[in-house]
Amino acid sequence: MNLQLFMGKKNFDCGKAERWFKERRVKLQIVDLSKKPLSGREFDSVLQSVGLEALIDKEAKAYAASAARFSLDQAFIRRVLFENQALLRTPILRNGQKATAGFCPETWQAWLDEEGG
């Protein structure tokens, strides 16, 4: 299992996610989005897995000032999110073609159970 944990701004959920995996002794690659943003292919893979709405951090300060907040144009919103990844809900966890956005321990546990069994 090749898990990648993308973390943006230091928030409570990112810390909880990191602890959740450490407690289970699960190795993962941690990527700081402020230093290494998602590539186009990574972004599209996550977007396809979780959906556009689930990927938006509507509580981010940057979102309140973003034009994406007022748009219904999916292509425009996607472009804004890709160009300003501070708007993404974190943590983002990638497991191959599967992904989650936000703190999703039930899904992560299901992935671990699938891998172990």
**What is the SS3 assignment for 39?**
coil
Residue in 35, 34, 33, 9 with CA at minimum distance from that of residue 94: 33
Residue 105, preceding peptide bond in cis (omega within 30° of 0): no
What is the set of domains in the chain, with CATH numbers? 3-116 (3.40.30.10)
CA gyration radius for the chain? 14
Residue 1: pLDDT band by 50, 70, 90 thresholds? confident
The model scores a pTM over 0.85? yes
Task: Tell me the residue type at 58.
Answer: K
- Report residue 8's pLDDT band, with 50, 70 and 90 as the boundaries: confident
**What is the C-alpha to C-alpha distance for residues 55 and 101, in angstroms, rounded to an integer?**
6
Q: What is the pLDDT of residues 54-112, one digit of tens each?
A: 999 998 888 989 989 999 999 999 999 999 999 999 999 999 999 999 999 999 999 99
Q: What is the C-alpha to C-alpha distance for residues 80 and 25, in angstroms, rounded to an integer?
A: 36
